[in-house]
Amino acid sequence: MAISINHRFIERLTSTANYDKVNIVIIGTFNPGLPDFSKLDRDEKARFALIENSRKFKKFNQVKNFYDRPQNRFWKIMDFINDNHFYSQTGINTINYNGLKFYVGMDREKVFKKQQEFCYKNKVLITDIVKAINPLTFNSIYDNFPDTAIENAFPVWNTEEIIEVIKKYKPAKVLINFSADSKTTPNICAQVSRIKKSFPDIIVPSLKSTSGAAGFRYDVLIEDWKEHFVWKKATVKK
């Protein structure tokens, strides 16, 4: 049998049904959904059952959007861009319980709706370079899903679909939210190079990663990201 895993949000990867214009495309790598159980053998089903019953997986499985895990800094950066007046008054380390980043105790569905509204209003399309993987094992796939594991999992690329979206909407910027020149992920980087070759004037590889593992402070990330959003105004109050 075989392991086959689609992107968690595969139906939204390049869907533009709610957009009349796309100003910014943000490209990440991959977020694994559930495996195709019909293709798993007995041992693979048993292995996934252990993963599925873990506390870590159950928390991860609650996310509703790209970059929605607590350790990722993306949505707080977007929240600053969306409501920089709040942070200019309180400081970037303040929790905005009415903002775009989910915190424990908040309503996930309401936060997700706000995130979607932010993207539709500001014409921001979030997508990933990989739409499915076919790994030999589950090792590392659901353990923070590192890019090196995705790289070696026989990816199904989303590159052509991304290129078609860019051709159709002609965004002002295409932002890459991972290292696009890493020697450890040559295949992923090659896909970014394809997009860059087609659209050299609008692609920005790479911004500082919003991943918690990357370890960048919020003030550093905001200064790096906000220049690409034309509606930003305020400076960061530390």
Query: Under the phi-then-psi rule, with left for phi > 0, alpha for psi from -120 to 50, and beta for the rest, what region is 67?
Result: left
What are the structure tokens assigned to 59, written together? 């928390």
Nearest of 124, 101, 76 to residue 230 by alpha carbon: 124
What is the reported pLDDT for 213? Answer: 83
What is the reported pLDDT for 230? Answer: 65
Q: What are the tens digits of pLDDT across the range 69-90?
A: 989 999 999 999 999 899 999 9
Phi, psi of 5 (to 5 degrees): -130, 120
Sheet holding 24-28, edge to edge: 124-128, 24-28, 173-176, 203-204
Nearest of 194, 216, 143, 222 to residue 27 by alpha carbon: 194
Q: What are the tens digits of pLDDT across the range 157-207?
A: 999 999 999 999 999 999 999 999 999 999 999 999 999 999 999 998 789
Q: Helix and strand tally (H, E) in the chain?
A: 9, 8
Query: What residue type is 13 in one-letter code?
Result: L
Please report which confidence band the pLDDT of residue 49 belongs to, taking 50, 70 and 90 as the band edges: very high
